[in-house]
Amino acid sequence: MPNKNKQRLFPVCTQEELNVLNSKEFILYQNNRPYFGLVVQKDDEIFAYTNSCPHQGRMLQWKKDRFLNKDASRIMCAAHGAMFELHTGICDAGPCVGKRLKPLRVVRENSVIQIEL
């Protein structure tokens, strides 16, 4: 019997695209509804989160594909400056300290970055 809750992998970008800014936004469509997300990388690790700030639910990016603060050590929300750890998505400064971005599982296969939904 097929498992209706089985999660699937969706390609969202290539490693080369992610290397440009170390962050990349994506939109996936499920049942004709958009799902907004982002991927970020630090050294050789890649993390993905839903693109929704736990403060007020706004999207996080400053400009297209730009999510990181100046020294690329945090994801920084463009709306009110909340800062999130790259590897946990936990807010450690700003208006929603202690809350976290919703993590997504990342699979890198060759140079394709995929997200599990």
Question: In the complex, what is the shortest distance from the CB of residue 1 to ligand FES, in angstroms, rounded to a whole number?
Answer: 42
Over the window 35 to 74, marking each residue x when it contacts ligand FES by CB under 6 A and - when it does not, the resulting string is ------------------x-xx-x----------------
Q: Which of 76, 24, 21 is nearest to 48 (CA)?
A: 24
Contact between 66 and 59 under an 8 Å Cβ cutoff? The reply is no
Question: Is the CB of 12 or the CB of 82 nearer to ligand FES?
Answer: 82
The residue within the footprint of ligand FES, chosen from 9, 21, 28, 79 (CB under 6 A), is 79
Residue 54 phi, psi dihedral angles, 5° rounding: -70, -10
Count the neighbouring beta carbons within 10 Å of the beta carbon of residue 99. 15
Q: Residue count at the site for ligand FES (CB under 6 A)?
A: 10
Q: Return the H-helix or E-strand segment holding 9.
A: strand 9-14
Residues that bind ligand FES (CB under 6 A): 53, 55-56, 58, 77, 79-80, 82, 94-95
